[in-house]
Structure 1
Amino acid sequence: MRNQRIIAPNIIFDLLKRLLAFKIVFLLLSIFCGSLATANTELSKESKLKAAYLLNFTLFMTWPEQTSQAASSSPQRINVCVQANENFFEFASALSKGAKFSTSRKQIHIVKFTQSADCQMTYIQQDASVFLQRILNNVLVVDNATLNTEQAAIKFYTDERKLRFEINLPALRRSDVKVSSELLKLAKVNRDVN
């Protein structure tokens, strides 16, 4: 007989254990990475843009309390109440914690609409008619032009596959909020009093 190596059963058993452990780790990583990827893709690009717009709107608006707090050193808390799906809420919350939205004059907080009565801005994805009494002195932002309410200060709409927004100046005046001319340059502006 020639020189043949005899592999001990213990070595084979160790190799099989390592191979099995590697497969289990690979399977768990695949499941984990797959769930992260699907969680990130559940929110459309358009919804992410709406969340970014929503937060940027606050930077170009001045609420009545803000003018009276101008002399104060503490920043004004701006609650943006959101009546939308959980993914939108989580994305907007994470976005609001970014450095851009923490200024020396304003602190932007995303709050679930059902959990706060103190809202300066309210974003609604669905029919707003049941909420109208609660949001009388808010800047009301509606998801699309089909949610047609004259109380809406800002309406998102799509034009040539691009996300746009319309600002209703009479609605903003009713809520006593001032808007920057820089924001008005980017919007379709409705100046009509209905």
Structure 2
Amino acid sequence: MGAMCQYLISGVALLLLLQGQMASAQASEAGLRVAFVYNFLKFIEWPERTGDDLYLCVLGATDVTRESLSQINNKSNQKATIRVLFLDNASDVEPQMGRCHLVYVPTTGADLPLPAALPRGVILVMDEPDQQDGRVAIALNRTREDRIEFQINEPAVKQAGVKVSSQLLKLAKKQVGGAR
């Protein structure tokens, strides 16, 4: 009976350890994706922006992604103070879109509807987007090697009327809509 109990306790401990590692991996990936988004804000210029605030609108963020994004709310970069707006319902999206400068759609928000055409001055960043969605200016994708990389869709950037730093363009792994 003692050996059986030890075996059961070891199994439960192993299961808890694996769950902790999986949660840690999810937190690390969510944090990495949010770090990408935060840095995109530094390397994009909104010529038509007025005021000291830069609005990052996030569709359907949950758990660790939401926690990571909350850490950059009210943070100042050299250009402005970042204001994170969480849009959790379909009814929130359309009315708030005019306030947004960058819209981030993590995989948990992919089911929330976006307008067919984004307002001028709004950049769309999306996790694992449909490659045919021409509204997506920056796509965050997982590679076969399990790394997170980003692509820039230059026609979507041009449509938005913003300027992306040449440094950011150079870092993009594969540019969509433009030669490299």
| TM-score > 0.5 by shorter chain | yes
Q: Counterpart of 2:58? A: 82
Shift of 1:134: 6.8
Is the 8 Å Cα contact of residues 103 and 123 (structure 2) preserved in structure 1? yes
Q: TM-score, normalised by structure 2?
A: 0.69
Unaligned runs of 5+ in 2: 1-19
Match of 1:48 among 31, 35, 45: 31
Q: Does 1:179 align with 2:164?
A: yes
Q: Deviations over 1:74-133 (max 9, x none)?
A: x63111100133321232121344xxx513531111111237331111011343682124
CA 1:146–1:105: 2 relative to 1, 3 Å = closer
Q: Deviations over 1:128-158 (max 9, x none)?
A: 6821247343101111044641110011111
Q: Does 1:102 align with 2:79?
A: no
Is the 8 Å Cα contact of residues 129 and 136 (structure 2) preserved in structure 1? no
Tell me the C-alpha RMSD between the 2 structures: 2.8
Secondary structure at 2:58's aligned position in 1?
strand
Unaligned runs of 5+ in 1: 1-36, 70-74
> 1: distance between equivalents of 2:79 and 2:125?
22
CA 1:58–1:106: 2 relative to 1, 3 Å = same
Q: Counterpart of 2:115? A: 132
Q: TM-score, normalised by structure 1?
A: 0.64
Q: Among all aligned residue pairs of Structure 1 and Structure 2, give the percentage whose two residues are the same amino acid.
A: 27
Is the 8 Å Cα contact of residues 56 and 101 (structure 2) preserved in structure 1? yes
Q: Deviations over 1:53-73 (max 9, x none)?
A: 11110100000224xx5xxxx
Aligned length: 146
